[in-house]
Structure 1
């Protein structure tokens, strides 16, 4: 970012977008924030951000890779900066003929920034990103810089420490289970529910990381029977791997099997009643192999998120 601050010859909006990209970039100068996120950070319209990115591309300081189709990545090269008026004269901010600056064409009011410093060139649409990681591609989290990256993608509640959340994000992104925008929202929802029940979010996160869980559960005494899913007689040491073991566990936990439930639905209810453990992680792993949506639904179910709430959070996480 320090290499971007001295650069001159651009508008306030262009400089703000450049600094925002630099703040999100990893050590290789690569980042992939969404257009709405950048717009929120620099207090500008999405159209203004799109125009600024187009200008930064023409100036050689930013190159955009849109081949992914789902999200755009940006690579910053401050050393290659060359103002577009030197390489693309047609994009210079000019009025008609040799008209003075005050007679330059006005840009629409929806475009943020000082209109006198804007070009009359029609805006070039830059596709909005649909997905945006909270940390860099390496999944590393380093101090305040990592906290800013996390903070730039989602508004954390006041009760959730940035460092603890950054640790959770880094841990989840290194695993095989998908950590989509919706999964991020579900994680915060689960932490909020556990906090309301008296569990400290930091302790909950640390427990899951320590035990290798992808879910977030109440902190329990490792020596208690509940931590081991109970003491099911005759179910075997790995009760969750057999239908008879699951039936025995369901009977022990008094999980009544409803007529409309199939075997999978009943198993899911028994696993949830048994609480956190290898049985839930095993089911989450199976859902993960199916597809991200199945994983998110299973994650939500085990954390007590209703189907209605699940859809609401999914819409909220959508770009």
Structure 2
């Protein structure tokens, strides 16, 4: 766009259609007045039909405000030179065969009468979804150690209430069960052994309560009460450890 040429166009008196077409050409021209917009571009800029634009161009050329030259294979080339008074048309330009004139800046429109097409960038496709890796059930590792149950959980309340000896015996029973459990139906395999240990603690506490020996002290009822006073789970674990010749001070306390 050449502001200098557009200013000169505003200073001359012309019919509405001709002045609008000349302004549209000046909007496409460089500082030398050279441009080559398509007929569709001019018609769109002026909101006029192709026939009206062509008639206005013919009148502007005759009035000396515009020079028009057809270039084979490149459409029409224009030179805008508005003058206050009509003058004779300038000499015909000699088109260059291989390249446009020096100093000319290309216009954004294609040099043809075909309407330009707007190319829109494709919408970016969302990234492919990745499948989260699924943990497969596995046997209890030999070096597995339980984590301390969080405060406020049922398992934590059971451990605090039953005491260390009960928790140690429950862990021993849990490990023996996990070691000897069959793989049939996935019984002996878990994806979260910490959660399995918590469930074991809760269920073992319920079983001891059903047997009625969870809080009995030895020799108080005379009817086969708990020998340790801590319930049948601790009694069974104590007998098992005694057979193996392991004392309490040798057995690590589970981190329930």
**What is the TM-score when the length of structure 2 is the normalising length?**
0.36
More helix by share: 1
Indicate the structure whose relative CO is greater, using CA pairs within 8 Å and at least 6 residues apart: 2
Larger radius of gyration: 2
**What is the TM-score when the length of structure 1 is the normalising length?**
0.29
